[in-house]
Amino acid sequence: MENEKRKVGDYTVLCAVNIGAREIILAENEQSANGERFLCCYGERNDIFEKFTECAVGDDYIDAAMFFAERIKQDAERFRAEVEKLDIPVTVITQADCIPDHYKNDINGKIIAINPAILKPEYQRADRQLFLVTGGFGASANARGSAVFCKNLYDGKNTRYERMDVLGEVKPECMPDWAEKKAILFRHTQSSKLMFEYGGRMFSPYRLFTKAENTLDFISLHTARDFELGFISKDCPESKTSYSYAEFYKKSSIKNCDLFVCADNGKLYCPGENELFEWQGEVGKSDFDRKLHTKPQKEHER
């Protein structure tokens, strides 16, 4: 059975090219007898309706085709200019950069990459792939639902994807520098349900150690005492504030976590047996904030 042809009113679509948020459409109405046989217009669709704008009609196919090609060229050049204005490297997150996604995993609060194959070709790049998961029935382990609500790491816009669209959780060592800094900031300001109080300070879970980080030598090399915070064991002579490893994790909103963000100073911390150490293995929010004013965010379409 022949597939039903797409229509724009009385016109049958001959060709359509998608660039960015809209299509350029060339269509024909063979029954037209008033010099309007061919139509060239822009089309935009969402889940509810489709609209067509800037319609031009004529009776000459060659003229219509050249007009169609010119609009494609103009939109392509406009889109390329927008990409060139990005203040980050243009890269693509692949399967090799991710921990493969399994429905048995809970991805709430994780940094995920969207499968580039489900994105339009011009949007297959990291700033369109990387998201902080904020909720949705599909984000939980063994969930019956499929909706995953998330925040784009580049522009902070909230959106929804299906769990099947998720490539996986991004490996920390594969996270672009710009995304790592944004992730720290977003997690710091995330929903208060993940934030908890300990010793008069507010903390949020950040992430687990990677396999490469989870060694005594690496941790020792990338931690330091923070005497300003002062969370040291009461058995330690330099102690300013009583600290308990067990009590810290008892209060934590996520138990399976190695690094935490302190909301009061934006630094990352690693709970030790006798002391809460400052983590120096990556840039914290306080460093990011000092650079924020030099890199204004850009507006662009999903």
Mean pLDDT calculated for residue range 248-270: 86
pTM for this predicted structure:
0.56
CA distance 276 to 272: 6
The token pair that represents 200 in the structure block: 């008069």
Distance separating alpha carbons of residues 26 and 45, to the nearest angstrom:
16
φ, ψ for residue 182 (rounded to 5)?
Answer: -65, -40
Domains and CATH numbers, the chain: 7-84 (no CATH), 95-183 (2.30.30), 192-288 (no CATH)
Q: What's the confidence (pLDDT) of residue 299?
A: 34
Encode pLDDT of 65-96 as tens digits: 999 999 999 999 998 888 888 888 889 999 99
Identify which of 17-21, 61-65, 105-109, 201-205 has the greatest average pLDDT.
61-65
Residue 298 in this model has a pLDDT that exceeds 60: no
Strands, E assignment, 87-221: 98-100, 111-114, 130-135, 147-152, 158-162, 166-170, 196-198, 201-207
Indicate the pLDDT class of residue 143, thresholds 50, 70 and 90: confident
pLDDT at position 295, please?
Answer: 35
**pLDDT at 154 exceeding the cut of 50:** yes
Q: What's the whole-number mean pLDDT along residues 157-176?
A: 91
| Sequence-distant (≥ 6) Cβ neighbours of residue 173 within 8 angstroms | 210, 212
Residue 61 neighbours by CB under 8 Å, 6+ apart: 37, 38
**pLDDT band (50, 70, 90) for residue 256:** confident
Residue 112 pLDDT greater than 80, yes or no = yes
Q: What is the pLDDT of residue 204?
A: 82
| 17-76 per-position pLDDT tens digit | 988 888 999 999 998 888 899 999 999 887 678 889 999 999 999 999 999 999 999 999
pLDDT value, residue 302: 35
Q: Quote the percentage of the chain above a pLDDT of 90.
A: 36
Could you tell me the two tokens for 94? 């692949």
pLDDT category at 16 given cuts 50, 70, 90 is very high
Give pLDDT, residue 238: 53
In whole angstroms, what is the distance from residue 83 CA to residue 286 CA? 28
